Structure 1
Amino acid sequence: MSPTEPAEDPRPGTDQASGRPEDEAPEAAAETDTEPAEETDAPQDVWSARRDLWHHSPGIMLGSSAAIGGSLVGGDQHGVSGGRVVGDVIMGSKTEIHYGGWAGPAYASGDLPQDVLERLTALFAGCETFDTALGVLRTERVVVLTGAPFTGRRTAALNLLRQVGASPVRILDPDTSPADLPLELGSSQGFLLGDMITRRNQPLRESHLRAVQAKLAEHSSYLVITAGLHTSFEDTVRTTEWKPPAPEEVLRAHLGARVTEDEAGALLRLAATRDFLARQHQLREVVAFSQELAAYARGERRAEELERFSLTAVEQQVQEWFDDGTVSLHDKAFLIALAAFDEGPYALTAELSDLLYGFLLNIEEGGVRARIPVFGTSIAKRLQLARARRYPENEHTEWGPVRQMKSAFLDDRTPMALLVEVWTGHPSSRPALVRWLKRLAEDGRPLVRNRAAATAAVLAAADLPSAMALLIEPWAAARRYRFCLAAANALTLAHLLDTPNIPRILHDWCTEESGRIRWTAIRAYALLGPEMPEVALAALSGAARKVDAEAADGEEAEELVHSTAVLLLSGAGPTVLSRLAGFLQDEQSVRGLALRAFLEACTRAEDDVDEARPALLAWYARAAVTPGVEDDRLLVTLWRAALSERAHTGVALDRLRDWVRQADTDPESEAALSALLPSLAVAGPDHQRLSHLLRTVPGAHGGPPPSVAARLLATLTPALPTARS
């Protein structure tokens, strides 16, 4: 086995069927040197693999300008915002945001000083939810606020207490058990229990709240409880869902206390402010941004710093998740999986996050088996923690679109920022990530395989040497084509992320001794070639010479043909067509590559839509009526060469028969063939060959001859026309 072969992980046992990955003992999990006894897969054809990559890659990676289906890059630069945003995410930030607030150690529990209470509530922006909660508090003396973290629940709670005149306010310990809660209520007028922590088997019950109400009534006191991610309560407990005010209202309120009204209006009109508000930022981030805007108004901040603030907030949130000891390893595994499968089916993300959790736990606990509750995981709380959403949408499958419940981060920059943080900021997780991505790369589902490649691409953009050594090179050298395809896709997507040196890697790999590595480079050129057609064709023709010297056919030779055909039908088609016509004067291996690729391209329909016109025939028709374009002449040159060369004549005639049958139901195709066929009959043998084809062409599925054949035959009969020169 090659030292770069991805070692086979032991397959999960019976627990895997229930969604609980077995985490093997360290010795069982170690990489092995055993190679599969036989090849277990065949390479996916380049056309469907390209389609899968386009359908299943994260949207932020491809952007609106990139199009692997057809022309790889069209319009502005690839990536997001011309690669600038992606580059910023990959490079990271040196800035740290210091969030103001009262939730620090000094106010974790105990009496909250009156001046602090007034300062924290002075800039509060009210909303309809606040009015509802206030009504409940006045009548019930206790209100339970639910909602996502960092949405202003605690500031709202303090304002609720202030509105009912409950002062002083005492902050209660979040670990206070529901049964002990009445005992913690002393003589203070107001109490706040923030992000109450309860055990699953000891939830907050209605009976607890009745006891609390009685105690509060004794002293005319009030209590606000905010329910966090770790709060369990019975369904009978009355809660009020906190829906915060609009970020713009909060920002306006805070700016009003820091700058003049005219300055506030100007700051709110800044492009950086509009971009910031377009993102779904937490209210603590909105407050911090108001401070940055005020500093900008005083000349203490540059415009670039304002523009960067939004992304910095995303990066800091990611760092908090992985630095926070209260976020479980299971939840951290889910965050990583969600980053890899952003905009993918939620159930798939959850399934594969459990697999990753087993690998991470094996590192952290040294061989402890991962025990995952089959039921009881709250989807809503998971997505709250992740600042993500769930929504229904069609997912592309091999059987067609299928309706799925998907999940995605609210901010589309979060996935990349998270993956970069884990890979570069927490390198101890790398062995688990490598094992996990290897398992994903060999999965039977195209979505899973392509997301493994996309994740590897992000890691390569952040740290190319490590990603190449640990992931992409072992995949490229593997015996199984699924790994090779994952490597090719990873390099393709890494290039879209502006990762340097990808063209050099592919160039070097095309001359590697390892056939699998050469195959990987050839497949990658099919995807990236439209951006650099001259480089791609030079590499592919060089590989053709090497393949011809070693073996006349095989998977590598087929891959060369298909990759070249993809380039011919890409946005770089005119350049590729000219080069292929030039290849006809080259040595036999290169000439053969040009003709086989041309004939392969003849099988593809326009836009890969079934029953559509053949793509090359449509191209010929357009070129024939376009002044100053000689593509039609070059297409005729390739047709003549294919028809006249014994090794390719049979296939070329088959392709023409297919075109004739398609033209039987398409007048535009018939018109194009009526112009093309006479230009191919330049000599007696050519005329006889094409006439025989049109007289004998069978209909589809062995049916009667297509009626269009007789009409096309009539275009050959009058004379033997000479092709346009």
Structure 2
Amino acid sequence: MSGQDQPAAGPGGGSPAAAPAPGETAPDEAPKDGAAEESEERDQPQNAWSARRDLVDHSPRTMRVGTRAGFGGGYTAGDQHGVSGGRVTGDVVMGSKTVHHWTFPGLSTAVSASGEIPRGTLERLAASFVTADGDDFDDLVLRLRRERVLVLSGARFTGRRTAALMLLRAVGATPVLALDRDTTPASLADRLTTRDDDPDPGRGAGRGSGRARGYVLCDLATRRGNALRETHLLGAADRLAEQDAYAVITVGPAAVLEDDVSAADWRPPAAENVLAAHLRARTTDATAGRLLGLPEVKEFLDHGHQLREVAAFAQLLGRYAAGEATEQEVAGFSLASLESQVQEWFEEDETTVHLRDKAFLVALAAFDDGPYALTAELSDLLYGFLQQTENRARVPEVPVFGTHIGKRLQLARAHRYTAEEHTEWGPVTQTKAAFHDERAALVLLREVWTGHPSARPALIAWLRRLADDGRPLVRTRAASTVAVLARTDLPSAMALVIEVWATSNRFRHRLVAVNSLTLAHHIDTPNIPRILDAWSTAEDRRLRWVAVRAYALIGPERPAQALAALRDATRALYRHRGDPDDFDVEMARELAEAVELLLLSRAADEVLADLLSRLDDERAVRDLSLGGFVNACRRTEGDERYGTPLVLSWYARASADDDGTAAQGIARLWREALDDPQYTRPALDTLRDWVLIASRSTTAEWALAALLPRLVTTPTEYQRLSHLLRTMPGEDGNPPPEVAARLLSTLPPR
């Protein structure tokens, strides 16, 4: 839903939202122009129910548990609406970084200078080498024999260097010389010569020696204007033929190759197969089978680790089997590997990971599991802010046509897929992007915020721009990103971002502050309730507004405290009710909507009991209870016009309980609302809607037929309901529906 959703009615039907108090300014307000002023004039608070629906629909997967049920309770199966409940993060991801340094023998792609690769290294790699299922490794061997030089293309850390060495081994090339990475395409043929310092030039080199020489060049550097051409390969092949030698060159997916250069694609084998091969090379088959069955091993494999990490994990498991490593080290290896990868992304220079790619990584962390096109669009926005941080005088430049989606996602260790995305107009199918490891987003945001403080100005400017976006998904992800930052460094996140939004004159900004605090609490950020308690009594009404909204969202896990705070806020509000000019109608509406959300949460029974126990208190508390209840009665399954009312479904289930306490409480609140002059009209209107729904749903009719008799305890109550059922118009001014007569027959005469 958009930020211009009309708010639900408050006590007594409510009235238009009150304007922000005079003199309230927000430190993040942009300079006023005509468009900004018009936007400010149209800015209205989105009603709490719609705002929570957007929060549920658009929060990242790390802040929900599988389905909407992760946000707390409700009455529609699979579509629950509270924002509390399960936790999928904690100190295991958001706490202090785990610092480990692992070695990846035989898998490093960094070959700094020419030199012979030891035979022992080749034999060790061969002992654990596996290929992908259905791979054409044998075809690559035949091609290498035929062409002498082979270009092998694959992403980093997919085992492409090991594959290159095994291809050379398969054609009998020994020894194998690693060429310097500074080798250029133009100098390739010149490097394929017998070394001057070789004490035995005939050893494995030259025709008639009985063995061929092998060359491996990892990560050949190419760029626009310095592409690898067919002429380079032909020259290299001629030089190799003179020596009876072979060469394999590895390149990345983004390598610049002329069209006539045919690179062979390298597909990495399954991580499970690689791990099994490494373990069997280190231990017995029985021990390897036992290790592969460990829960920690299964969890590691589920996170989609790179092959270099798989090899290092096998090394650790071998030490564990020998009693040289602990179970805690095994359990913590997966997260430590992920943290090392994230640090590597942001510590590498521009030649390895470009600033634009780093911006994309941050954007993907914020929009993980979201639409790819949106992530790419907003990553370029962040890229512009980062460029300005590096050089204030620089005009940000964003290439119109940049890196291909597949190459970007390979770098990010992410994947794309097609799925439905919730929108204001219903679900739509979009291409989405997500990290293979769902923990990556949390770890990455923590690393950027705490490990690279110089990026904070650009990140804050970006988040403020996102908070002002017209798309609910964008605003929600701005909030979820700040929630992670708050979990990492609460004082900085509060001072630099959340408080700025919370004191903005724009409802849209304040709502992002609400969602930030709510999601921060959801991932176990400490002290959020304390912040809300302080803000609920603050002099600044904007802070009170934020506190009330947030109470409604985190209240289901602490309903007694939330309701007590809402009552205190209502009492303070009603002290000015005698002066209509001073009475804050907007805040009264917000308080009622907060109670509405609590009544429709997983803590509904406890909330209901609390409201009933205070129903005879002063007028302020009564209005809070009845206003929230009538609002809750308007909500239907799936927010459909003729969906079963959620409170009616609640009543039906409660009636089937042994004691029926909740059912009796619902009936009592209905009677109180119908009998209160301030709520009679909105309550009757809601009951009329229920009757229209019952005309389309047998389930709703049966539930309503069970409820209506409980609403009649006096002649006045009977007359009010019978008059409604006899005279209510049907849809489009038609006569009353037939179900009205059937329901009328259930009323006990008085």
Please, what TM-score do these two structures have when normalized by structure 2? 0.88
Equivalent residue for 2:173, pick from 166, 173, 178: 166
Give the aligned partner of residue 265 of structure 2.
241
- Listed as ranges, the matches of 1:32-47 within 5 Å are 38-47=40-49
Instruction: Output one character per residue of 1:286-314: Cα deviation in whole Å (capped at 9) or x when no partner.
Output: 11111111111222211111011011101
Instruction: Return the match for 2:647 from 616, 624, 629.
Output: 616
Deviation of 1:69 after TM superposition, in Å, equals: 6.8
Residues 683-692 or 327-336, more deviating: 683-692
Moved more, 150-159 or 674-683: 674-683
Matches within 5 A, 1:114-129: 114-115=118-119, 117-118=121-122, 121-127=125-131, 128-129=135-136
State the Cα distance separating 1:242 from its structure 2 match: 0.8
CA change 1:625–1:372 in 2 (3 A) is closer
Q: 1:423 corresponds to which residue?
A: 449
**Residue type at the aligned position of 2:262:** R
Matched residue, 1:50: 52
Bigger mean CA offset, 235-244 vs 405-414: 235-244
The answer to whether residue 537 in structure 2 is matched with residue 532 in structure 1 is: no
- Identify if the C-alpha distance between structure 1 residues 191 and 437 changes in structure 2 by more than 3 Å, giving closer, same or farther: same
Q: Which amino acid aligns with 2:57?
A: H
The equivalent residue for 2:153 is: 146
Aligned partners of 1:340, 1:553: CA distance in 2, in Å? Answer: 36
Deviation track 1:384-423 (CA, whole Å, cap 9, x = no partner) reads 1111111111111111121111111111111111000000
Instruction: Measure the CA separation in 2 of the matches of 1:565 and 1:654.
Output: 17
Local SS of the residue matching 1:406: strand
The gaps in structure 2 that reach 5 residues or longer are 1-22, 195-204, 206-212, 577-581
1:18 maps to which residue?
none
Shift of residue 3, structure 1, vs aligned partner = 7.7
* 1:719 corresponding residue in structure 2: 749
Flag the 1:230–1:639 CA change in 2: closer, same or farther, 3 A: closer
Match status 1:484 vs 2:484: no
Task: Quote the residue 1:231 is aligned against.
Answer: 255
Partner residue of 2:296 out of 252, 272, 276: 272
Contact 1:9 1:435 in 2 (8 A): no
Residues 1:473 and 2:475 aligned together: no
Structure 1 residue 201: deviation in Å? 3.0
Question: 1:261-309, CA deviations, whole angstroms, 9 ceiling, x for partnerless residues?
Answer: 3322222222211221222111111111111111112222111110110
1:99 maps to: 104
Q: Unpaired segments of 5 or more residues in structure 1? A: 14-33, 721-725
Shift of the alpha carbon at 1:598? 0.9
Counterpart Cα distance in 2 of 1:57 and 1:75 = 11
2:70 match: secondary structure: coil
SS at match of 2:180: coil
Give the Cα separation in 1 of the matches to 2:48 and 2:83.
24
Contact 1:120 1:155 in 2 (8 A): no
Q: Residues of 1 paired with 2:379 and 2:31: CA distance?
A: 17
- Match in the other structure for 1:693: 724
| Residue 219 of structure 2 is aligned to residue 219 of structure 1 | no
**2:28 matches 1:6:** yes
CA spacing shift, 1:506–1:301, aligned 2, 3 Å: same
CA RMSD of aligned residues (A): 2.5
Shift of 1:547: 2.3
Instruction: State the alpha-carbon separation in 2 of the partners of residues 609 and 423 from structure 1.
Output: 41
What's the secondary structure of 1:499's corresponding residue?
coil
What residue number does 1:28 align with?
A: none
Rounded to whole Å, the distance in 1 between the matches of 2:32 and 2:326 is 54
Q: Separation in 2 of the partners of 1:547 and 1:63?
A: 37
Q: Which amino acid aligns with 2:523?
A: L
Match of 2:333 among 309, 312, 319: 309
Q: Partner of 2:586 in structure 1?
A: 555
% identical equivalent positions: 51
Quote how far apart the aligned CAs of 1:4 are: 5.9
Give 1:185 deviation, angstroms.
Answer: 1.9
- Cα-to-partner distance string for 1:228-270 (whole Å, 9 max, x where unaligned): 2552113332121111222233223322333333322222222
1:75 Cα deviation from its structure 2 partner: 14
Over 3 Å counting, the alpha-carbon distance change for 1:622 and 1:409 in structure 2 is closer
In the TM superposition, what whole-angstrom CA distance separates every residue of 1:107-140 from its partner, at most 9, and x where no partner exists? 4221224345435534341323432321211111
C-alpha separation in 1, matches of 2:378 and 2:479 = 15
Counterpart-to-counterpart distance in 2, 1:167 and 1:387: 34
For residues 609-668 of structure 1, give each alpha carbon's deviation from its aligned partner in whole angstroms, at most 9, with x where no partner exists: 441222222222332332212122212221222122211111122122222222222233
Distance (whole Å) between structure 1 residues aligned to residue 461 and residue 269 of structure 2: 44
- Aligned partners of 1:195, 1:287: CA distance in 2, in Å? 20
Name the SS of the counterpart of 1:342 in structure 2: coil
- Pick from 363, 381, 397: which aligns with 1:337? 363
SS in 2 for 1:374: coil
Give the distance between the partners of 1:172 and 1:637, measured in 2 at CA: 84
| Shift of residue 553, structure 1, vs aligned partner | 4.4
In structure 2, distance between residues paired with 1:74 and 1:307:
33
Distance, in Å, in 2 between the alignment partners of 1:673 and 1:117 is 78
Code of the aligned partner of 1:442: D
Structure 2 CA distance, aligned partners of 1:142 and 1:104? 19
Q: Is the 8 A contact 1:197 1:230 kept in 2?
A: no
Q: Which amino acid aligns with 2:141?
A: L
Specify the alignment match of 1:673 in structure 2.
704
Q: 1:606 to 1:389 in 2, by over 3 A?
A: closer
Alpha carbons of structure 1 residues 77 and 682: separation in structure 2 relative to 1, 3 Å: closer
Q: Which residue of 1 aligns with 2:636?
A: 605
Amino acid of the structure 2 residue aligned with 1:8: A
User: 1:323 is matched with which residue?
Assistant: 347
- Deviations for 1:73-107, whole angstroms, at most 9, x for unmatched residues? 99996222xx45x64344321323233337487x4
Match of 1:381 among 368, 385, 407: 407
Structure 1 residue identity aligned to 2:96:
M
SS in 2 for 1:170: strand
Deviates more, 1:556-565 or 1:417-426: 556-565
Q: Does 1:179 align with 2:171?
A: no
Q: Which has the higher contact order (CA 8 A, sep 6+)?
A: 2
More displaced 10-residue stretch of structure 1: 213-222 or 303-312 = 213-222
Distance in 1 (alpha carbons) for counterparts of 2:93 and 2:120 = 38
Q: CA deviation at 1:554?
A: 2.8
Q: Is the 2:122–2:165 contact (alpha carbons within 8 Å) kept by the matching residues of 1?
A: no
Instruction: Give the paired residue count.
Output: 694
* 8 Å Cα contact 2:545/2:590 also seen in 1: yes
Cα deviation code 1:405-447 (max 9, x no counterpart): 1111111111111000000111111111111111111101111
In structure 2, relative to structure 1, the CA distance for the partners of 1:394 and 1:670 (3 Å cut) is closer
Within a 5 Å distance, the mapping from 1:190-589 to structure 2 comes to 190-325=214-349, 326-550=352-576, 551-589=582-620
Does 2:63 correspond to 1:61? Answer: yes
What is the aligned partner in structure 2 of residue 628 from structure 1?
659
Task: Indicate conservation of the 8 Å contact 1:454/1:490, yes or no.
Answer: yes
Query: What's 2:86 paired with?
Result: 78
Give the letter for the 1:217 counterpart.
Answer: A
Q: Deviations over 1:9-40 (max 9, x none)?
A: 899x9xxxxxxxxxxxxxxxxxxxx9999444
Q: Distance between the aligned counterparts of 1:248 and 1:654, measured in 2?
A: 62
Q: Tell me the distance in 1 between the aligned counterparts of 2:703 and 2:39.
A: 52
Q: Is the 8 A contact 1:89 1:311 kept in 2?
A: no
